[in-house]
Structure 1
Amino acid sequence: MSIEINYINKSFDRTKVLNDITLDIPSGQMVALLGPSGSGKTTLLRIIAGLEHQNSGQLSFHGKDVSRLHARDRQVGFVFQHYALFRHMTVFDNIAFGLTVLPRRERPSAAVIKQKVTQLLEMVQLGHLASRYPAQLSGGQKQRVALARALAVEPQILLLDEPFGALDAQVRKELRRWLRQLHEELKFTSVFVTHDQEEAMEVADRVVVMSQGNIEQVGTPDDVWRDPATRFVLEFLGEVNRFDGEIHGSQFHVGAHHWPLGYAPAHQGKIELFLRPWEIDVSRQSSLETPLPVQVLEVSPRGHFWQVVAQPAGWHLDPITLVVEGDNVAPIRGERLFVGLQQARLYNGDVPLRAVAFAESA
């Protein structure tokens, strides 16, 4: 089932938490609402569920306006971060609960409920724990029970609020893979809230990056990672190095060094340049492409590459992070290296300038 969100606004008292949110989610897609605390992502999810109501705007499921529809009538399953399981009920009864409280005319027979719950237990790989109570389960097992309970009523849409936030790193990783596999099998429309970039990139078909009640960018994980639409997305997603510099004419200056931009921007003067660690050229020799000296502070092996933290020598105050390919000799602490600017993004405040390939221009 598709979800259409049109110009949704929401305020709590005098605090605006959602600003004209417009978003289309096609049927069968898994979408991540990604952003820091206070970005509005959980409020948007709760509006979709019917647990909160917007002040203005329209919410539709498959073209039908559900803005005034009660949560119980929306055919939505909701999975909370802290499970919300009934402590006095077994795993089996927790999963069956949503079916047992349906109106009599809609409620399946006890035999059908038993069959359905048994199938769900097998699906979430907990068939051997049906008679246990929540207190006897691990965090990962509790979250699987919560997911099975949400799926028991055959929702058209599955909503998950930080579903793995309370779990340790290894369990989170396993459950992410499992949820993605389950989504591929069942093809339900799902929306999940997370502040974890890795989680969003690994699980979602599309990522909605939010900040201060606004949508900053919508795209595939690869789109938002490689081609950030705003400075916020650039800085929020992954590690990025920031340099202070100046533009004079068609030249970009950092300390005593400068590079041709290939064009003369309308903005002249102070500017900020952003580079991902792997977008910086690294060499053991000074050259036109790598003129900037740095001293190695830390070296961390990362499989096929080394992550290096280095201190610029006289041209920038803060340490920067670099990537050195694994087929080179490993850098050592205290070693002098030289760096250059491979693919740069320039910003005047929040206003982007045209992206530049300095290495090609040098």
Structure 2
Amino acid sequence: MHAYLVGGAVRDALLGLPVQDRDWVVVGSNPAAMVAAGYVPVGKDFPVFLHPESHEEYALARTERKTAPGYHGFAFHAAPEVTLEQDLARRDLTINAMAQDADSGEIVDPYGGRRDIEGRVLRHVSPAFAEDPVRILRLARFAARFSDFTVAPETVELMRGMVAAGEVDELVAERVWQELSRGLMESRPSRMFEVLRDCGALARLLPEVERLFGVPQPPAHHPEVDTGVHLLMVLDQCARLQTSLAVRYACLCHDLGKGTTPADILPRHIGHEQRSADLARQVSERWRVPNDCRELADLVAREHGNVHRSTDFDATARLRLLERSDAWRKPGRFEQMLWACECDARGRLGLEDRDYPQRERLMQDLAATQAED
């Protein structure tokens, strides 16, 4: 048997990035031989083993075949005769389809991953990419992580065909949230939504977000005008300020109601806060979003306008804002809300670096009232 380091570890090393996880593929072996060599079996769907000393994962080389719609419908075949090239062929992107020989250190790159790293391109390995709709979300997440990479035109067309064929509609909530949440935490989360929008997947997965694009806002407050553009700017402000997943999700949902504003009152958005909260709850239910994220999204949607205006509030009005926000019982969540509001205020064209005194002042109010108790 022969072992090869594969996937993200090879990619990140070539990019000069820290290697977080190391996964291995074993060619020319079988489960009995792996166990005899001291490896511990852990795989349920296909043969995966833990190294007896490093405890890193070693998987037998395998092929896969599509058997049903969605991402569950696959049959796997792992056998000693499966080659490394066959195993790499089933992977999603060329930059993830490279291997490194454990003995010689030689890079095995049958599908042009090095070329695409140098060209900063995200490209599918083969037409088999279309068999797994999760790959659309994964690619969008990689676009958010590697923000200087572009998506190959032929890959965009392939993803559009997958969306048109209804593959995205087969995705289950757990996988969608897993990929969306990871993408939100990348260095430039706006890229994830740009890619999803470009291939048509955003309209299927998050129509509430898709509706924001092309909807105008008052240019005096929003020089970028377009509500969808504003949302993308807000998400990137989150990455800049190193905020939590709950804050980033709240920012994603904070203005959803603007997509349902009656056309005859545009570009104003009277009452959009409650509409945003209602739509945020729908999104949270659909994708089974964790409670901390959905609760913060609801609070930010309802109160972000009041937080912005709080510099004009008297002490009584600010006290009522703290009460509605349950600030004394949940001070950490209250602070997260203020961070989301600051991202919203800074996510505007030309206003990315402006001061946001509301956050500090309201935190001072909270501290003062806590001291009185």
TM-score past 0.5 threshold: no
Q: TM-score scaled by structure 2?
A: 0.30
**Structure number with larger C-alpha Rg:** 1
Higher relative contact order (CA 8 A, sep 6+): 1
More helix by share: 2
More strand by share: 1
